[in-house]
Amino acid sequence: MTSRDFLVQLQGYGLMTAEISYYMPDHPDLLQLFVWQEYDVAPGFPVLHKFLDHWRREIEAALHSIRIAHQHLIRPAEWRAVDGVISIN
């Protein structure tokens, strides 16, 4: 059986890491950090937008900033041509 993670990568999804900084209402002077990883499609990030919409509706925390890193894990192989041959006897 093929895993869900592998199937979504074949559909063009890459691993997205979001670092979310936020304030809680009972501690407004304390900036807190939440790190979240999920497979998503750049540059639109529909999965991240759905998560942030849920955050705004259901979680009593004010968003301060969001940093995103995204990497396709399945992609064409990288290669480079090499000029020359080294013989070792």
Q: Provide φ and ψ at 60, rounded to 5°.
A: -85, 60
58-69 pLDDT, tens digit each = 999 999 999 999
Model-wide pTM > 0.75: yes
- Distances from the Cα of 37 to the Cα of 25, 26, 42, 71, 81, angstroms: 25, 27, 14, 11, 36
Q: Using one digit for the tens of pLDDT, what is the confidence trace for 11-64?
A: 889 999 999 999 999 998 999 999 999 999 999 999 999 999 999 999 999 999
